[in-house]
Amino acid sequence: MSAGEGTAFPFDAVVGQGDAKLALRLAARDPLIGGVLLRGQKGSAKTTLARGLAALLGDAPFVDLPLGATEDRVVGTLDTRAALTGGDIRFEPGLLALADGGVLYVDEINLLPDHLVDVLLDVAVSGENVVERDGVSHRHAARFVLIGSMNPEEGELRPQLLDRFGLCVEVTAPTAIADRVEAVRRRLSFDAGGRTDIPADPSWSAPSSPDTDLGDRGPGIEVSDEVLEAASRLAVEVGAEGLRADLTLCRASAALAVLDGRDEPTLDDLRRVAPLVLTHRSRRGPFDPPVTPPDEIERAVQDALDRVDPGDVDERADEDDAPERGPGAGPERPFVVGSARRPPSAPVNSDRSSRGRMVRDEPAGRASPIAVVPTVRAAAARRHLDPDATLDGSDLRTAVRVAPRSRVIVLCVDLSGSMGAPDRADAASGTVLGLLADAYERRDKVGLVTFRGDAATTVLTPTGSIEVARNRIDGLLTGGETPLALGLREALRVAERATDDTTDALVAVLTDGRATGVGGLDAALEVAADFTRSAVDGLVLDCEHGANRLGLAGRLADAMGARHVAVSDLAPAHITQTVRSFARSPR
């Protein structure tokens, strides 16, 4: 075993990444800031920084949450079976309990189910995990720094979740040769002997140690009216919704002041943390970029801070129209952040640990979670027939739940050299983006398969990211024969790969039904029959035009067991609306 094996690469030894290091230190200093999202390409030291932070916190726990983890594995489970049969409730801790006092790291967090991301963000801020099962609950401390990393090419987080991350940083690998050489030299030196010859950052003092809980920050510090107003002006300037941006700006500025050994944040602190807080909070619509370019944030910061006049703030504080305070309210308390006192626990959503809506109950198996109310009801019914009966295993019931379903839509488009191919190409591009705009608030995904010449191509693997789609579908090529069979086979393959037990899939084929390549129409009809044996729904968008119509698209729809609709208007908005309406009403 090398000296570096099993030991985290030193946080300060990572070359560059100043913004990422600062964001992680701020979140460790004040967990109320919320989690840190590291966005960037693979191999840019995101995981190394996360592990290094845990070591910086006095060799605190480092828990790597796998994408395939179940909800019970994450939050923990309650064994209510023992309680109902005369024993005590037993709590089996999950990953949140293991991360207490350290770092919880989720690589590719954009691929984690939304409800789990919600749970992680809730617990990261509150510092407490509550597990509930049918009215029985257990709570335990779970104070950790939540770090999520993602590659934007694999899809974006929903905007509601993106906004809940306190800080966001774009992480890229160094491009300068000297920096890359130095990064490799340090890594090789560390792997060989555990040395990097990089001194620790003197401005950093770890907020916790093995004997100190994460979150023990000492006394809070006051934020001046000047910084408060500047933070609010800045949030408004970039179009941030709600007050989360204002609060995070103030908390992050205060944490930065503490790191620098000062007892009050300044406008310079606010200016330094603004890009970390605001870059992911200025998106107004689905076609806006998920993060704002740094130069735009810098302009917004400059404009907002230039309008802050300390004299005006003091003058307004003395105006007679200030809100009245009730009698006996005492002196007004300063706005304080970073205090060691934790806020009251937020109300717990009792549905957050469920796996969907309960539709019925059934006898519980040996490993099934127990539904308390149905179990009591079953026992009461048996005692009505036999007053001396006591609760036994035959009374135990478990809940049957239905999880919310998402959709995968694969658009399959004929881009052969037949008349109207350019219009179909434009319709394909516009429809994909239109469907993704509709999926903006959900976890739905859209893909694109085209066929022309002698091949079918997956232009876009199903994704929920408008940015990824826009990059992939630009400049679609047209011309050549019409290998309809290959297009259908590829679209079905893509749809089936993207589905699971909680996903409905639809393949929408934009074609006039003509097939001039690779087996012609007979081969296409044979492949179409495969749809009837799959769980994938079908829709044929018949774009045949002219007086003498052959009706081939209708034959294709019949063979697929699909719905058939004529589309004389190839405008993307019209195609989008047609596909959307059929996707919402699966056969």
What pLDDT, in 10s, does the model give residues 116-139?
888 888 888 888 888 876 666 788
Query: Could you tell me the pLDDT band of residue 540, with boundaries at 50, 70 and 90?
Result: very high
Query: Could you tell me the pLDDT band of residue 380, with boundaries at 50, 70 and 90?
Result: confident
Residue 290 is predicted with a pLDDT of: 61
d(CA 166, CA 23): 9
d(CA 27, CA 166): 8
Residue 244 is predicted with a pLDDT of: 80
Q: What's the average model confidence in pLDDT over 196-225?
A: 56
159 or 578, higher pLDDT = 578
pLDDT 10s digits, 233-282: 888 877 777 778 888 889 899 989 988 888 889 999 998 998 888 887 76
Query: Could you tell me the pLDDT band of residue 332, with boundaries at 50, 70 and 90?
Result: very low
Burial of 530 (0-12, 13-18, 19+ CB in 10 A): middle
Query: Could you tell me the pLDDT band of residue 526, with boundaries at 50, 70 and 90?
Result: very high
* The amino acid at 511: T
194 or 3, higher pLDDT = 194
Q: Which of 87-96, 227-236, 314-323 has the highest mean pLDDT?
A: 227-236
Query: Percent of the chain, pLDDT > 70?
Result: 75
Q: Which of 219-223, 441-445, 450-454, 476-480 has the highest mean pLDDT?
A: 450-454
Q: Which of 318-322, 339-343, 351-355, 359-363 has the highest mean pLDDT?
A: 359-363
| Contacts of residue 448, Cβ cutoff 8 Å, sequence gap at least 6 | 410, 411, 413, 428, 432, 458, 459, 460, 469, 472, 473
Checking if the pLDDT of 34 tops 90, the result is: no
Query: Could you tell me the pLDDT band of residue 351, with boundaries at 50, 70 and 90?
Result: very low
User: By the 8 A CB rule, do 129 and 92 touch?
Assistant: no
Q: What's the average model confidence in pLDDT over 408-416?
A: 90
Checking if the pLDDT of 218 tops 50, the result is: no
User: By the 8 A CB rule, do 538 and 506 touch?
Assistant: yes
369 or 525, higher pLDDT = 525
Instruction: Report the range of poorest mean pLDDT among 157-161, 392-396, 491-495.
Output: 157-161
Checking if the pLDDT of 499 tops 70, the result is: yes
pLDDT 10s digits, 62-80: 999 988 888 888 988 876 6
Residues 424-462: b if buried by 16+ CB within 10 A, e if exposed: bbebbbbbbbbbbebbeeebbbbbbbbbbbeebbbbbbb
Q: What's the average model confidence in pLDDT over 478-492?
A: 90
Q: Which of 130, 133, 129, 131 is nearest to 84 (CA)?
A: 133
Secondary structure (3-state) at 392: coil
Checking if the pLDDT of 85 tops 50, the result is: yes
Residue 509 is predicted with a pLDDT of: 92
* The amino acid at 421: A
| Contacts of residue 177, Cβ cutoff 8 Å, sequence gap at least 6 | none
Residue 159 is predicted with a pLDDT of: 67
d(CA 379, CA 154): 50
Helices (H), 203-243: 225-237
Residue 335 is predicted with a pLDDT of: 45
Q: Which of 52-61, 168-177, 490-499 has the highest mean pLDDT?
A: 490-499
d(CA 264, CA 25): 18
What is the helix (H) or strand (E) element at residue 406, kind and residue range?
strand 406-414
d(CA 318, CA 325): 14
CB atoms within 10 A of CB 4: 19
The catalytic residues are 244
* The amino acid at 86: G
The owner of tokens 């022309």 is 452
Residue 468 is predicted with a pLDDT of: 76
* The amino acid at 171: V
Instruction: Report the range of poorest mean pLDDT among 91-95, 317-321, 450-454.
Output: 317-321
Angle between helices 267-278 and 244-259 (to 10 degrees): 130
Checking if the pLDDT of 12 tops 50, the result is: yes
Q: Which of 116-130, 417-431, 438-452 has the highest mean pLDDT?
A: 116-130
CB atoms within 10 A of CB 414: 26
Residue 3 is predicted with a pLDDT of: 35
CB atoms within 10 A of CB 96: 25
Query: Percent of the chain, pLDDT > 90?
Result: 14
Query: Could you tell me the pLDDT band of residue 491, with boundaries at 50, 70 and 90?
Result: very high
E strand intervals along 200-278 = 221-222
d(CA 392, CA 170): 57
The owner of tokens 């609950």 is 137
The mean predicted confidence, pLDDT, of the chain is: 77
Question: Which letter does DSSP use for residue 152 in this model?
Answer: G
Q: What's the average model confidence in pLDDT over 403-425?
A: 80
Checking if the pLDDT of 5 tops 60, the result is: no
Q: Percent helix, strand, coil in the chain (nearest 5)? A: 40, 20, 40
Instruction: Report the range of poorest mean pLDDT among 72-81, 137-146, 438-447, 496-505.
Output: 438-447
d(CA 46, CA 500): 30
pTM: 0.60
388 or 308, higher pLDDT = 388
Q: What's the average model confidence in pLDDT over 289-316?
A: 65
What is the helix (H) or strand (E) element at residue 402, kind and residue range?
strand 397-402
Residue 412 is predicted with a pLDDT of: 92
457 or 206, higher pLDDT = 457
Residue 369 is predicted with a pLDDT of: 73
d(CA 260, CA 57): 17
Q: What's the average model confidence in pLDDT over 492-514?
A: 87
